Amino acid sequence: MARLDIQQADMAILGGQAATADILFQMGLDSASGRYGATDLVSAHKWFNIAALKGNREAVLHRKEISGEMSREDIAEAQRCAREWLSAH
């Protein structure tokens, strides 16, 4: 059996596909809705932030919407995670 090396567990969902703005946006929706487990607004914000940087306009609106439900600390953590992801990829 082949061994798949993944730096972060949340990247497994990409399944070898390029991280396009649309895929990242969908990851944000999945995190915000709890599609694969518990709702995770920090992760959702991170993915929406990255998708917005890659040109997805809807991601900007969703990021703004969930920001109203998050603490400043959570938003800061999401932004830090987005920067880390961008640095690694």
- Flag whether pLDDT at 19 surpasses 90: no
pTM over 0.85: no
Mean pLDDT on 21-42: 94
Q: For the beta carbon of residue 46, count every other beta carbon within 10 angstroms.
A: 27
74: exposed, middle or buried (Cβ count in 10 Å: 0-12, 13-18, 19+): middle
Render pLDDT for 33-77 as a digit per residue (tens, 0 to 9).
999 889 999 999 999 999 999 999 999 999 999 999 999 999 999
Q: For the beta carbon of residue 34, count every other beta carbon within 10 angstroms.
A: 12
37 φ/ψ angles, rounded to the nearest 5 degrees: 150, -145
